[in-house]
Structure 1
Amino acid sequence: MQSVTYKLTEFFLIFIILPVSFILNYPFLVKALLAVSGFVYVVYILVKVEGNEFKVAPNLRWKSFCTGVFVKFIIIAVLTIAYMLLTAKSDLFHVLYQKPKLWVIILFAYAMFSVYPQELIYRTLYFQRYASFFKSKSLFVFINASVFSMAHLFYRNPLVLLMTFLGGILFAMTYDRTKSTLLVSIEHAIYGFWLFTVGMGHMLGFPD
């Protein structure tokens, strides 16, 4: 499981074949089974092969992390509010105002069942298994953002692909700097929460 051939095959199946297959027309239950099976495999690799213990590191740099996320969040908030005002003013913050209970439920479910699994796959697994294949850190981050964007192909929305590509760059840079699945998951969740709150959640599959 540590050979170059095995890892390349693994990469191709997890990050290329599986996401692309989800845009094809076959039963949802089959897609769900493939997704769950793939995630179980990832957890197995991380625990049994890579030796992860999923403990919170005691030396996390919370101050610098929070400062960086705050600055990026302000920029994202300004851009997304402007986008909503220009394209769908009536939807701005509509879920928060009209369905606050749904808003709370979705935020919790999103963090637990979407964000953390994605970060285990696209940051933790990716960085631990495939870093040795790249001499260029910039290329390594670019490929990470690209495959993260590909994971959202089934939305069939160019704006979603662009946003997830840019998000992938931010998350890859955070993980590369902190080596923390927890911190990058928090950052991912904050931006996702905001998109749902500001009124762009329908593009990312949030019920509204």
Structure 2
Amino acid sequence: MEHLLVFYGLVGLFVVAHVPGGPIPALVLGGAVAVTYLVRTREFDNRDLWRPQALRPALPAMVARWAVFSVLATAGVAILDRGHLFDMPREQTLLWLLIVVLYPLASVYPQEVLYRAFLLHRYRRLLRTERAAAGASAIAFGFAHLLFGNVLAVVLTVGGGWLFARRYQRSRSLLTVSVEHALYGITIFTVGLGRFFYHGA
């Protein structure tokens, strides 16, 4: 019941309420609350909030998969919506640079704290298997992206949510999964899909 209330009730209210300022302040606040809970929980290994040594062995597979996605995303925009190809770096260069710098810190890491570290730890007994837990994480992650009002954002984030949850389960490193998440997100904003994920659009 708590899982439904937090990740569907509260998030659903935020989606329909059109809160001024967009999702970033709520993400940062929610991430801070989740971190506070996790570090005070004896059963949670605080090293999972960073664990930098897990990044290097995961990089080859991460980069290979991200490169395939980047090629497909670029080709898709070039074929189906050529006018928007690389539109943000071309037309809103300063905003794009700010996203490249701030998005991993202000958006990606708080999302990973909430949808991976907190969700997968807090409800681990309810979800029982790792695949069930990853599925719950992916669906909740996609649901939150209803905020942007389009199907593409939800579909991509359900897929991304599964990928990031499985990465976290294997690496036990929020740094590793945040780097992977940031790679995909920055690619989306770069190639011309940013308007589907940008609250200020």
TM-score interval, normalised by the smaller of the two chains? 0.7 to 0.9
What does the per-residue CA deviation read over 1:90-110, in whole Å, with 9 as the maximum and x for residues that have no partner? 211122234433321111121
Normalising to structure 1: TM-score of the pair?
Answer: 0.84
Residues in 2 aligned to 1:111 and 1:34: alpha-carbon distance in whole angstroms? 15
Inter-CA distance 105–206: structure 2 relative to 1 (3 Å threshold): farther
Question: How far off its partner does 1:28 sit?
Answer: 2.8
Residues in 1 aligned to 2:49 and 2:25: alpha-carbon distance in whole angstroms? 28
CA contact (8 A) 2:164 2:181 kept: yes
CA contact (8 A) 1:149 1:161 kept: yes
* 1:184 partner letter: V
| Farther off after superposition, 96-105 or 126-135 | 96-105
Partner of residue 88, structure 1:
81
Question: How far off its partner does 1:140 sit?
Answer: 1.6
Query: 1:18 aligned to 4, 10, 35, which one?
Result: 10
CA contact (8 A) 2:145 2:154 kept: yes
Identity %: 30
* 1:139 partner letter: A
Question: How far off its partner does 1:59 sit?
Answer: 3.9
What residue ranges of structure 1 are gaps of 5+ in the alignment? 1-7
Question: How far off its partner does 1:78 sit?
Answer: 2.1
The secondary structure found in structure 1 opposite 2:54 is coil
Partner of residue 49, structure 1:
41
Q: What is the correspondence of 1:80-119 to structure 2 with a 5 Å cutoff?
A: 80-119=73-112
What does the per-residue CA deviation read over 1:153-185, in whole Å, with 9 as the maximum and x for residues that have no partner? 111111110000000011011101100001000
The secondary structure found in structure 1 opposite 2:15 is coil
CA contact (8 A) 1:80 1:198 kept: yes
Normalising to structure 2: TM-score of the pair?
Answer: 0.86
**Residue 169 (1) aligns with residue 162 (2):** yes
Residues in 2 aligned to 1:125 and 1:192: alpha-carbon distance in whole angstroms? 21
The secondary structure found in structure 1 opposite 2:125 is helix
What residue ranges of structure 2 are gaps of 5+ in the alignment? none
Q: What is the correspondence of 1:66-81 to structure 2 with a 5 Å cutoff?
A: 66-81=59-74
CA contact (8 A) 2:153 2:197 kept: yes
Question: How far off its partner does 1:26 sit?
Answer: 5.8
| CA RMSD between the two structures | 2.6
Residues in 2 aligned to 1:145 and 1:55: alpha-carbon distance in whole angstroms? 19
Partner of residue 203, structure 1:
196
Residues in 2 aligned to 1:135 and 1:66: alpha-carbon distance in whole angstroms? 28
CA contact (8 A) 1:39 1:121 kept: yes
* 1:76 partner letter: F
Question: How far off its partner does 1:193 sit?
Answer: 0.5
Partner of residue 121, structure 1:
114
